[in-house]
Amino acid sequence: MKHYPHHLDLKPAMHAKGIVRLPGSKSISNRTLLLAALADGTTHIRELLASDDTHVMLMALQNLGVKWEQIGESQDYIVHGVNGALPTHQADLFMGNAGTAIRPLTAALAVIGGDYTLHGIPRMHERPIGDLVDALNEIGADIEYTGAPGYPPLHIRRGRIRAERLKVRGNVSSQFLTSLLMAAPLMASERDVTIEVIGELISKPYIEITLNLMRRFGVEVQRDGWQAFTIAAGQRYRSPGTIHVEGDASSASYFLAAGAIAGGPVRVEGVGENSIQGDVRFVDALRQMGATVTMGDNWIEAQSNGVLHAIDADFNHIPDAAMTIAVAALYADGPSILRNIASWRVKETDRIAAMATELRKLGATVEEGDDYLRVTPPDRIQSAAIDTYDDHRMAMCFSLATLDGAARRGNKVRINDPQCVAKTFPDYFDAFAGVTEESLF
């Protein structure tokens, strides 16, 4: 895996053009690993993401007695499913800062039963998990907070699950519902299980990924709008044999934005118009800003049509990719507003506060609200040292500020702690250098 120095100095880039092969989707990778582990049969996973977050899930599964192997030096893996019965009933699991690992595992382990502790880095212990724990404990799980109530670390003991109807809030993280959905077939051996969503459900496209993958592993979910989800009794996960991981649509956003800002065309491969990832809808925002975007089965391409237009839009459905728009707004013809992004505050860092702070370093005027960000671009982007807050998306987003857009010139940017990109895209800066005219060093 690529190792970067403590900081990385990026030079201004005159033009963006080229092709990038995307790493696998984090959301698909970690869901697929857990479903393959819980399934009956052996699953061949093609092009799994190589990253810190998938490593966390692989190690946790290994510690739980699930057997898997990597095929040579490739990103293809074989996972031997345990058919819902984990071989190891006691384990201490380190979850790093991987929300896509700790939350579904918490639900699955609480239902299967045993004696498990789950913990992570300090920031993980600040990321909420209370809505999920409350939903599980209400149906007889035995999950205890060993630190601050509502947050990891957790101690899971064997409970007495009585699950016919669960309720979970939907307005903090869609991963809570995803976790219950993935664990539901383990509860539904004799009776149907219905999960009811209280209030608004955010990030709906991520639930669609979950339902799609559950279907691939043989479990159908009946959906009543976005308010109730029913898993019929008697269903269990069965291996689909082979499953291919799509390229990461969130990671695609940086390169597509580069094409939209600095000429293009820039093409990403590994994801296309038939993707199961909601973040492909990022292209709608680029089109609103005036870029030309074309798509095929397994590729997307973006290029500039001159100065980007300012945007005022609701980004609740694509919170991760929306961060890219916040930096692209530096190149717009007026103030842009990103709305309904409260979930940014409970991600790898408080992304609203972090984004506002770092955009101001570049000369932007930024208004920060509880659930919105208003970005007014500067006359000229300033050179700055960008702090990344141990957040991979902060590091990747701000590489875009080096680009020479039609409205204003990019500038030198120092990225502090560039290694944080290992969470989802270890080779990001090499890939970015590959489509920009200036080299990194």
Max CA-CA distance within the chain? Answer: 65
- Centre a 10 Å sphere on the Cβ of residue 92 and count the other Cβ atoms it contains: 12
Q: Torsion-angle region of residue 139: left (phi > 0), alpha (psi -120 to 50) or beta? A: alpha
Partner residues linked to 415 by β-bridges: 8, 386
Instruction: Give the DSSP per-residue string, 195-258.
Output: EEEESPPP-HHHHHHHHHHHHHTT--EEEETTTEEEE-TT---B--SEEEPPBPHHHHHHHHHH
Count other Cβ atoms within 10 Å, centred on residue 295.
16
H or E element: which one contains 142?
A: strand 142-145
| Amino acid identity for residue 23 in this structure | P
Beta-sheet pairing, 413-416 with 384-386: parallel
Strand order in the sheet with 90-94: 90-94, 115-119, 154-157, 142-145
The dihedral over CA atoms of 152, 62, 81, 425, expressed in degrees to the nearest 10, equals 70
CB 145 within 8 A of CB 133: yes
Burial group, residue 199, by CB count within 10 angstroms (0-12, 13-18, 19+): exposed
Tokens in use for 360?
Answer: 């101001």
CA-CA distance, 95 to 111, in Å (whole number)? 19
Residues annotated as catalytic are 320
Residue 23 gets which letter from DSSP? P
Taking the alpha carbons at both ends of the chain, their separation in whole angstroms is 19
Bond from prior residue into 5 cis (ω within 30 degrees of 0): no
Contacts 24+ apart (CB under 8 A), 142-146: 142/110, 143/106, 143/110, 146/117, 146/119
What does residue 420 show for φ and ψ, rounded to 5 degrees?
Answer: -65, -15
Q: Which helix (H) or strand (E) holds 396?
A: helix 392-398
